[in-house]
Amino acid sequence: MYSRELLKGILKPIILKLLSENDRMYGYEIAQTIKKLSDDKILVKEGSLYPALHTLTKEGHLSVESARVGNRIRKYYSLTANGKKQVVPAMNELLAFSDTLQTLFGPKITLPT
């Protein structure tokens, strides 16, 4: 599992990418999908997920639709037109950052002893 600080910077692009591949998702579903796709290496907790979802909504990238499921109300998130435009730039930025880390640390990272 990665630290909360590390995940904070990559969570929004991950959410945008997931929602670009799915029509709509609810919070728990997003967290479980991230967990599954990362082979349990990225565990997103409510304290990180919902602030990111609220920020993306406030920025106009997501829309929220409430639906009753059983006895509870479930909020479904989907990309807005603006959000769809943000997916590729967000992924490109994340991939460029990953490339920079590879350059910085080289192909094989050795830890000091």
Q: Write the pLDDT tens digit of every residue in 9-68.
A: 899 999 999 999 999 999 999 999 999 999 999 999 999 999 999 999 999 999 999 999
Which residues on neighbouring strands pair with residue 90, listed in sequence order? none
The answer to whether residue 6 scores a pLDDT higher than 90 is: no
Confidence (pLDDT) at 65: 97
CATH number of 4-105: 1.10.10.10
**Per-residue DSSP letters for 65-103?**
EEEEETTEEEEEEEE-HHHHHHHHHHHHHHHHHHHHHHH
Instruction: Supply the pLDDT for residue 5.
Output: 81
Domain ranges of the chain: 4-105
Number of helices followed by number of strands (H, E) in the chain: 5, 3
pLDDT above 70: residue 93: yes
